[in-house]
A and B are shown apart, each in its own frame.
Chain A
Amino acid sequence: MSQLILGVGDLGASKTSGGSVKTFALGSCVSVLLLDPKVRAVGMVHVALPESKINQTKAQSKPGYFADTGIPTLLQEMAKLGCNPRGQGMIVKLCGGANVMDPNDTFNIGKRNALAVKKVLWKYGMGAVSEDLGGNFSRTVTVFVDTGDVLLSSPGRPDWKL
C-alpha cells in the first residue's frame, strides 16, 4: 500500500492500486480532491490561501499553496497520469475551510479559500459533487485510489465519509 502524505501547500496524484493520498489537519485550508474514474486516478491539493498575488516567490516554489496556482498545477500533475488536462470527466470533492468563531468575520480565510477554489474550478467548467466546508473544527482527509472514497476525521468526532 502506498500512501502519499501532503503538507500545507503540497499537491499530489496517484493511480497506484491500493494507494491513497492523505493530508493532516486542515484548519482554514481547503483540500480540493479530483477523482478520475476512467483513468482510476485521484489527486489532491492542500490550499492555504486564495490568491498567489501576495507572494509570487511562494507561488513558484509551492504552487499548491494558493487556489489560483494550485488547481491548474494539480491538473497538470494528473495529466501526467493520463487524465484530461482540462479536468474533463473528473469528479470534484471539497473539504476544509474551517472558520473561527468570529462575530465580525474578519478572520474568514476559510470562507475565502472555499470561494476562491470554486471560482477557479468554474473557469474549467468544474463543480463539486459533494463538499464539507466550513464549521469550527479541523479535518484530516484521505482519498483512496481504488474506491475513490474520501474519509474524514476530526478529534472528538466520529469519522465520516464524503
Chain B
Amino acid sequence: MTDKNIRERIVEEVKKAPMLSISASKLMEITAQVDHETTEVVDVVMHDSNLTARVLKVVNSAAFGLMSPVTTIERAVTLLGERVVVGIAIGDSAGQLFNKALTGYESAGGELWKHDLRAAIASRQVAVHGKAGISADFAFTAGLLHDIGKAFLSDFMEGTAGPILEQIENNQATDYLESESELLGINHTEAGLILAEYWSLPEPLKVVIHHHHHPDQAPEEFKALTYCVHLGDIIAMMGGCGTGSDTLQYNLDPEYIRYLDLSPTQLAEVLLEVDEEFAKVSGSIAESKESPR
C-alpha cells in the first residue's frame, strides 16, 4: 500500500464524519464575531431542547459547585461562560470523534477530548495573560478543535509509536507531525483542515487547526490566535494531558513573544489556573453525562 493510498483513504474517512449539529455550527459562527451579543448565544441554546437540558445539567452539577439551582438559560450561560456552552455543543455533536480511543498513538478513549479541553482552557488563559488582543473565548473554541484530525489518522498508525519516537530521538524527523506525513502522506493538521472545510468552520478555526504546530505559517491576521493555541496545546501536554505517544514531541516556536507577553511567573500562574479550571469544567461536563436524564 502506498502513501497516496492511505492518504486517500483518510480523506474518505474525514468525509464520512458526522456533521456538526446546527446549534454547534451557529454558536461557532456567532462567537467568531468579536462584537456579538450574549443574547445571540442564549437564543441558539433556547431553540435546541437537547442542548438546553445539557447546559442546565452542567451548570447544576456538583463539580460546578453552585449553592442554588439554576433554571434559566440566560443565567446558565452567564455562569458557565459562552465558551463552555460552545464546548458542550461541539463535544456533544462530535463526541464520536473526541471520545475515540487513539490506539495508533497508544492513547485510551476520552483522552483526545481531555487533551483538547485542557488545551482550550490553556489557550484562553494564554490569550488573557499574554494580552493577545483577541477574543479569549474564541481561543478556547479553537483550542478545543485543534487536534481533531488525529481521530482520522489513528487507525492507520497502529504499532508505529515506538518506531516514530525512535526516529525523532535520532533526529531523523523534527517532530511527530513530520513522521505522520512521512508514514501516511498526510498529518493530523491536514486531516483536521479537511474536516474543518467539510464542516464549513469559520476561517480562523481552519487556520488554527492547520497551523497550530507551525504558527509562523498562519496568515498575519490570525497569528495571535494561532500562537495562543500553539502554547495552549503545549501547556496541556506539560500538564500531563496529551494524546499518548506524541505527547511533547512537537517544537515550541519561540516567536510567540512577538504576539504574546508571557513572563515565567505568568506562565506558572497560567499552569495553575488551567489545572483548577480544567478540574471544574471537565468534572461538570463528565458528571452531566453520567447522571440519567
Q: Residues of A with Cβ closer than 8 Å to B?
A: 8-9, 24-29, 48-50, 54-55, 58, 65, 98-104, 106-107, 109-110, 136-138, 155-157
Contact = CB atoms under 8 A, between A and B. Distances in A.
5 residue pairs, one from A and one from B, having the closest CB atoms:
A156-B245, A156-B161, A25-B240, A155-B106, A27-B240
Given A25-B241, A27-B237, A101-B175, A156 B265 contact: no
B244 interface: yes
Given A101-B248, A155-B247, A26 B164 contact: no
Prevailing SS type, chain A contact patch: loop
21 contacts: A8-B239, A8-B240, A27-B248, A28-B271, A48-B239, A48-B272, A49-B272, A54-B265, A58-B272, A99-B248, A101-B249, A104-B254, A107-B234, A110-B238, A136-B249, A138-B237, A138-B240, A155-B244, A155-B247, A156-B164, A156-B245
Interface in B254-270: 254, 264-265, 267-269
Given A27-B248, A48-B271, 17 more contacts: A8-B240, A26-B240, A27-B242, A28-B239, A28-B271, A54-B272, A55-B269, A98-B248, A101-B249, A107-B238, A109-B267, A136-B248, A137-B247, A137-B249, A138-B237, A155-B244, A156-B105
Interface residues of B, number: 32
A109 B238 contact: yes
A100 B161 CA distance: 19
Interface of B: 105-107, 161-162, 164-165, 175, 234, 237-242, 244-245, 247-252, 254, 264-265, 267-269, 271-272, 275
A155 B238 contact: no
Given A98-B248, A101-B252, A155-B161, A107 B267 contact: yes
B104 to A, nearest CB: 10
Contacts of A136: 248-249
A20 to B, nearest CB: 19
A107 B106 CA distance: 26
A69 B248 CA distance: 27
Contacts of A58: 272
B238 A49 contact: no
A28 B248 CA distance: 10
A8 B278 CA distance: 12
Contacts of A28: 238-239, 271
A102 B248 contact: no
Nearest to A98: B248
A109 B269 CA distance: 12
Contacts of B164: 156
Given A106-B254, A137-B248, A156-B164, A27 B238 contact: yes
B251 A101 contact: yes
A54 to B, nearest CB: 5
Contacts of A99: 248
Contacts of B250: 101
Contacts of B272: 48-49, 54-55, 58, 65
A12 B237 CA distance: 24
Given A8-B239, A138-B237, A109 B271 contact: yes
A116 to B, nearest CB: 11
Contact of A156 (B162, B175, B254, B264): B162
A42 to B, nearest CB: 21
Nearest to A140: B240
A16 to B, nearest CB: 26
B82 to A, nearest CB: 27
Contact of B165 (A54, A101, A157): A157
Nearest to B235: A107
A155 B107 contact: yes
B268 A109 contact: yes
B176 to A, nearest CB: 10
Contacts of B269: 54-55
A48 B238 CA distance: 10
Contacts of A27: 237-242, 247-248
Contacts of A155: 105-107, 161, 244-245, 247
